[in-house]
């Protein structure tokens, strides 16, 4: 029997990421406090950031450029060099920030890596994500790290084919319905949804409803038991 191939999202699935962006948004609004209320500045940034995903992609460099564009637009180009320098410094700080692991992540991955092949599949900026994986100390638990531009059904399909496992043996674990769950279900794979406390508005999609192959957990701690169940289920379904 082929073992399960278990792929993990990284940001907000294995470690906290969103809080850094929330905090940066607050500091950005503070830099522009002479020009507008925090919530107005923040809304302007949101709009520019989402429009810029097409142009710049994901990641901290894109976010930094979006903050700079927002500062210029919002102030009719009157933003001072000090403000721009403050934004650049904010971005650089984010790039070298700690990677705060979820509780017990190392223990859980160590356990799982004894029974399953583990992959890390994350979208975003190559340099940033590789650096985060290195700083996380989790690298050794994964057979392979895949950093992709967008997590689409085709991207998952190619990945599964590359590792040569039957579709029914593939499980994706993540906190984003849009990126980790729905595209995997779309190609008939299994997905484990572990919601994060706050999820970026750009990533929010409607509810899951009743979808085959989809499981929701409150915590990574419940994953070993679920994977054991899925292993037995896969074994049964393979029996002629």
C-beta of 120 vs 227, nearer to its own copies:
120
User: Residue 135, interface with its own copies (CB under 8 A)?
Assistant: no
Q: What does DSSP assign to residue 50?
A: H
User: Residue 33, interface with its own copies (CB under 8 A)?
Assistant: no
Helix H or strand E segment including 6: strand 5-8
The label of the residue with tokens 């907000």 reads 12
Nearest of 85, 157, 149 to residue 122 by alpha carbon = 149
Answer whether 197's CB lies under 8 Å from 12's CB: no
User: Residue 95, interface with its own copies (CB under 8 A)?
Assistant: yes
Distance CA 226, CA 222 (A): 7
Site pattern 136..155 for its own copies (x: CB under 8 A): -----------xxx------
Distance CA 136, CA 202 (A): 25
Candidate residues 56, 111, 168, 226; the one interacting with its own copies per rule CB under 8 A: 56
Edge-to-edge order in the sheet of strand 5-8: 144-148, 117-123, 5-8, 170-174, 190-193, 214-216
As measured in angstroms, the least distance from the Cβ of 127 to its own copies is 3
User: Residue 57, interface with its own copies (CB under 8 A)?
Assistant: yes
Q: Which residues contact 83 (CB under 8 A, 6 or more apart)?
A: 31, 32, 71, 75
Among 2-10, 23-31, 90-98, 199-207, which window interacts with its own copies (CB under 8 A)?
Answer: 90-98
Q: What does DSSP assign to residue 138?
A: -
Report the DSSP beta bridge partners of residue 215: 192
User: Residue 205, interface with its own copies (CB under 8 A)?
Assistant: no
As measured in angstroms, the least distance from the Cβ of 10 to its own copies is 15
Answer whether 163's CB lies under 8 Å from 153's CB: no
Structure-token pair, residue 32: 């522009």
Among 15-23, 88-96, 184-192, 202-210, which window interacts with its own copies (CB under 8 A)?
Answer: 88-96
Candidate residues 22, 50, 88, 225; the one interacting with its own copies per rule CB under 8 A: 88
As measured in angstroms, the least distance from the Cβ of 104 to its own copies is 30
User: Residue 5, interface with its own copies (CB under 8 A)?
Assistant: no
Distance CA 77, CA 59 (A): 25
Candidate residues 49, 125, 146, 180; the one interacting with its own copies per rule CB under 8 A: 125
User: Residue 162, interface with its own copies (CB under 8 A)?
Assistant: yes
Residues that bind its own copies (CB under 8 A): 55-57, 61-62, 64-65, 68-69, 72, 75-82, 84-85, 88, 91-92, 95-96, 124-128, 130, 147-149, 162
């Amino acid at each position: 029997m082929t073992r399960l191939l278990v792929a993990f999202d990284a940001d907000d699935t294995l470690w906290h990421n969103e809080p850094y962006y929330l905090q940066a948004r607050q500091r950005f609004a503070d830099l522009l406090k002479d020009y507008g209320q925090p919530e107005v500045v923040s809304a302007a940034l949101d709009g520019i950031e989402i429009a810029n995903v097409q142009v710049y992609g994901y990641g901290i460099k894109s976010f930094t450029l979006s903050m700079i564009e927002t500062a210029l637009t919002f102030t009719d180009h009157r933003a001072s060099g000090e403000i721009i320098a403050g934004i650049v410094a904010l971005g650089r700080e984010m790039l070298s920030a700690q990677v705060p692991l979820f509780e017990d992540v190392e223990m859980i991955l160590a356990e799982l890596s004894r029974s399953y092949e583990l992959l890390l599949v994350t979208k975003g900026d190559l340099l940033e994500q590789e650096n985060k994986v290195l700083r996380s100390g989790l690298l050794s638990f994964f057979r392979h790290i895949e950093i992709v531009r967008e997590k689409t059904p085709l991207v998952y399909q190619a990945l599964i084919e590359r590792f040569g496992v039957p579709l029914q043996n593939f499980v994706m674990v993540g906190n984003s319905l849009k990126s980790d769950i729905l595209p995997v279900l779309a190609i008939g794979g299994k997905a484990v949804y572990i919601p994060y406390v706050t999820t970026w508005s750009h990533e929010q999609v409607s509810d899951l409803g009743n979808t085959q192959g989809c499981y929701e957990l409150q915590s990574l701690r419940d994953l070993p038991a679920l994977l054991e169940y899925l292993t037995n289920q896969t074994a049964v379904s393979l029996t002629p």
